[in-house]
């Protein structure tokens, strides 16, 4: 009898990975492994999360989740974005979040910079994620993308100590100064 390895990994393969200090994701059936995030990465993610929670959760508009949380976008796409905004509570299951959420945020790290900007951005757009934000702690910059014709177009951006007003969520004000310090 000849054994063959699967050509594409799925959620059951992903769920069988033993825990360690790495972050495992499956994109188009391929395993992606990155090291655990740095303290800076975690700090800025947490600070942005607080601002998003203040707007979305306090206002009863949605729920914000932070990594690690399994986001199951398809049978062969299981990721752990840094932040996930869910507007439809039915998307939250015992396994994680199922289907494209309203917003995904990735905080760039040296080990994830290229995959977050290219591979994940392309895949997220193809799978129906409408809003994709990239937070860059080194550049002290946030870029907010919106789906447009199977790809993303820049909807808003800010850097340094600026205040970001997002055109799709009136009254959402992000104070970048409090994210960096």
77: enclosing H helix or E strand: strand 77-79
Please answer whether residues 103 and 133 qualify as being in contact, where contact means their C-beta atoms are separated by less than 8 angstroms. Answer: yes
Residues of the chain above pLDDT 90, percent? 72
* Model pLDDT, residue 6: 57
| Cα distance between residue 40 and residue 23, in whole Å | 17
Please answer whether residues 23 and 67 qualify as being in contact, where contact means their C-beta atoms are separated by less than 8 angstroms. Answer: yes
Please answer whether residues 97 and 68 qualify as being in contact, where contact means their C-beta atoms are separated by less than 8 angstroms. Answer: no
Statement: residue 5 has pLDDT above 90: no
Pick from 128, 165, 119, 169: which is nearest to 148 by CA? Answer: 128
Statement: residue 86 has pLDDT above 50: yes
Q: Is 104 exposed, middle or buried (0-12, 13-18, 19+ CB in 10 A)?
A: buried
DSSP state of 89: G
Handedness of CA 129, 85, 153, 41 (dihedral sign): negative
What is the radius of gyration, based on Cα positions, of the chain? Answer: 16
pLDDT, averaged across the chain: 92
pLDDT in tens, 105-133: 999 998 888 899 999 999 999 999 999 99
Statement: residue 35 has pLDDT above 60: yes
* Model pLDDT, residue 23: 84
Statement: residue 2 has pLDDT above 60: no
Domains, the chain, with CATH or none: 37-180 (3.90.1570.10)
Query: Rounded to two decimals, what is the model's pTM?
Result: 0.91
Pick from 19, 47, 43, 46: which is nearest to 33 by CA? Answer: 19
pLDDT grade, residue 21 (50/70/90)? Answer: confident
Which tokens go with 90?
A: 């039915």
For 174, the 3-state DSSP assignment is: strand
Pick from 42, 23, 84, 89: which is nearest to 61 by CA? Answer: 89
Tell me what the mean pLDDT of segment 148-155 comes to: 94
Tell me what the mean pLDDT of segment 58-71 comes to: 93
Handedness of CA 77, 34, 50, 177 (dihedral sign): negative
């Amino acid at each position: 009898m000849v054994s063959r390895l699967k050509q594409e990994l799925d959620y059951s393969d992903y769920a069988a990975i033993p825990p360690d200090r790495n972050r495992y994701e499956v994109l188009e059936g391929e395993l992606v492994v990155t090291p655990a995030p740095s303290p800076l990465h975690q700090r800025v993610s947490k600070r942005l999360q607080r601002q998003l929670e203040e707007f979305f959760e306090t206002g009863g508009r949605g729920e914000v989740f932070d990594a690690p949380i399994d986001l199951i976008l398809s049978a062969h796409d299981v990721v752990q974005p840094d932040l996930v905004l869910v507007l439809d509570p039915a998307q939250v299951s015992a396994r994680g979040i199922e289907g494209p959420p309203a917003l995904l945020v990735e905080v760039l790290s040296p080990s994830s910079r290229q995959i977050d900007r290219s591979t994940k951005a392309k895949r997220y757009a193809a799978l129906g994620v409408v809003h994709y934000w990239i937070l860059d702690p080194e550049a002290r910059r946030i870029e907010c993308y919106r789906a447009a014709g199977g790809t993303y177009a820049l909807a808003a951006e800010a850097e340094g100590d600026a205040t970001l007003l997002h055109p799709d969520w009136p009254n959402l004000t992000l104070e970048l100064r409090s994210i960096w310090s």
